Structure 1
Amino acid sequence: MNADLSREEAEKVFDQHAKAVFGVLLALTKSKTLADDLTQETFMRAFQKYGSYCRHEPIRPWLARIAVNLARSHYRKLNWQKLFGQVPDRPTDQTAETVALQNERQQELWQAVCRLPHKSREVIVLHYYAEIPLKEAAQTLEIPLGTCKSRLAAGLAKLRVNPDLLTHRLHNCSQTREEVR
């Protein structure tokens, strides 16, 4: 643990943000087990590097950036292993759809989000599911704000193929279909 962070502060940060970080990782990895492992790794790294965190900035985007980078790193390692023929067995736990979404309409929307290209899906997950503003999502993904907005617009355009999906709100989202246009 970092000397800049007391045990009590660390517990408070974990309690307040672990569920959101897990949700982002579950959406990106589609594996409950992997999301749990990466959530733990996210907080271990965050606590080690807490001294580099700018305390007047919101902490959730900083944690999300660490989580997204860990997920990307994990998949880069998997791709590297595939090149050399050493592919690990995939876990057989429940899918993200059955774990993260409770009713049928939310499942339909979630399945549509999962079919989006990875870059659009990252922005939608961070903005709507983790409730991170676009500016902070862009910082989290280390892309320009305009690129973030373009990826969001492209993802939403693909979701509009089924207009009934956008009449229902995205999980934990206060914007309706008209507001996101």
Structure 2
Amino acid sequence: MGMQDEEYMRQLSLGIDSAFDILVFRYHKPLFGYVYRLLNDEKLAEDIVQETFLKIYQQGQKGFIPDQFKPWMYKIATNTCKDYWRKPVSRLEYVTDKDLKAKEQVYQIIDHQLERQWMVESLNKLSMDYRTVLYLRFYQDLKYTEIALALDISINTVKTRIARGLKQLGNILAEDERKGVEENK
């Protein structure tokens, strides 16, 4: 296990630019994967990743060292993406036990199908709020606490959005499957 990300930020704040290269090397690929899935546009994703790293670099030069680098980095990236989206109106959200049961089933589907194109297409039918939490959870492997930090929402909201997002995703997948069956008759 090498040095922690926060330690590289500390070095950057001391003017050691090579520390920044290591962060870019470490996170360029996962960050690009995340942003690309959100925006579905390679060129734009690359621009946003560059912009995210630029902001990280500038913050480091000012001497800012985040408590947890990863959530902070995803927060910057998500906010940079948000400039390109129209913000959906989020309503109050509640979760029921039934939602949680449905969630377990969809979890298993997601785990097996993460890299499939149809999975990404289905996820992209969800609202931005649901999409971001699901991508951060399943593709970037962030913990609930890290997602809460990255998106500036409470852990409860994270859990609710994941449950709701998975429920909607389940409906979309079921709908697509039903259509598929009808087309193959």
TM-score of the superposed pair, with normalisation by structure 2: 0.67
Aligned position for 1:65: 75
Aligned position for 1:139: 149
- Counterpart pick for 1:9 among 5, 14, 19: 19
Aligned position for 1:155: 165
- Counterpart pick for 1:44 among 28, 42, 54: 54
Which of 1 and 2 has greater Rg?
Answer: 2
Aligned position for 2:117: 107
Determine helix, strand or coil for the equivalent of 1:116.
coil
Q: Which ranges in structure 2 are unaligned for 5 or more consecutive residues?
A: 1-11, 87-112, 177-185
Q: Distance in 2 between matches of 1:104 and 1:129?
A: 7
TM-score of the superposed pair, with normalisation by structure 1: 0.68
Aligned position for 2:179: none
Residue type at the aligned position of 2:34: V
Aligned position for 1:88: none
Q: Distance in 1 between matches of 2:144 and 2:51?
A: 25
- How far off is 1:64 after superposition? 0.6
Residue type at the aligned position of 1:53: I
Residue type at the aligned position of 1:14: V
2:34, 2:135 within 8 Å by CA — same for their partners in 1?
yes
Judging changes above 3 Å, is the alpha-carbon distance between structure 1 residues 104 and 25 closer, same or farther for their aligned structure 2 residues?
closer
Residue type at the aligned position of 1:22: F
Q: Distance in 2 between matches of 1:155 and 1:112?
A: 11
- How far off is 1:4 after superposition? 2.9
Judging changes above 3 Å, is the alpha-carbon distance between structure 1 residues 72 and 105 closer, same or farther for their aligned structure 2 residues?
closer
Q: Distance in 2 between matches of 1:104 and 1:28?
A: 14
Q: Distance in 2 between matches of 1:158 and 1:60?
A: 28
Determine helix, strand or coil for the equivalent of 1:75.
coil
2:137, 2:147 within 8 Å by CA — same for their partners in 1?
yes
Kindly indicate whether residue 95 of structure 2 is the aligned counterpart of residue 74 of structure 1.
no
Q: Distance in 1 between matches of 2:49 and 2:58?
A: 14
Please tell me the root mean square deviation across aligned C-alpha atoms, in Å.
Answer: 2.2
Q: Distance in 1 between matches of 2:115 and 2:50?
A: 31
Aligned length: 135
